[in-house]
Amino acid sequence: MIGDLSGTFQKLPFHLQAKGEFQYVERKVVGNRCDESKGNGLTSYCLGVANTEFRLSLVRSLYEGKIEISLNMMIASGYTGQTIENFATNYAPGSVGLVGGFVPANPINEVVGVRIPSYASLNFTYRLGAR
């Protein structure tokens, strides 16, 4: 499930324009075999983390739109690019005396992703040429 809500206020004091957006992405299944205690693990699903983002923008145009100054920010929580990774090899070192020195080990699957950072920026835009 993805929910998105956005809005714009164009006639604020001092000729400011404000834009806002809220986005929510529900957690989803990104793979299986995360819990080996449940039999073969094929029925145990790996769930990602839900993402929440607030985007805000405050804009002021000057000289009939030739110059624009804006403050942009995003307040976020969650991860993007979520998937599962296997953090164990299929074999691990065994005890002394075993032929080959290796015994089978269970792989460990974990959900991984890139954290979505919050930010704020100040932008200055100058449009060249005729208005």
pLDDT in tens, 3-34: 888 898 888 888 899 999 999 988 887 777 66
* Cα separation, 85 vs 66, whole angstroms: 50
Give domain status of residue 56, yes or no.
yes
CB neighbours (10 Å) of residue 131? 7
**Residue 54, in any domain of the structure:** yes
pTM for the model stands at: 0.63
Instruction: State the residue range of the domain holding 61.
Output: 2-83+114-126
Classify residue 105: in a domain, yes or no: no
Per-chain mean pLDDT for the chain: 78
| Band (71; pLDDT cuts 50, 70, 90) | very high
Q: What token pair was written down for 69?
A: 């100054």
Q: Indicate if the pLDDT at residue 90 is higher than 80.
A: no
**For residues 66 and 90, which has the higher predicted lDDT (pLDDT)?**
66
| Number of folded domains that form the chain | 1
Q: Mean pLDDT across the stretch 45-50?
A: 81
Structure tokens at 10: 């164009």
Separation between Cα atoms, residue 77 and residue 52, nearest integer Å: 5
Residue 40: band (very low, low, confident or very high) from pLDDT cuts 50, 70, 90: low
50 part of a folded domain: yes
- Both tokens of residue 81? 């690019």
The pairing of beta strand 16-25 with beta strand 29-32: unpaired
Position 80 scores a pLDDT of: 82
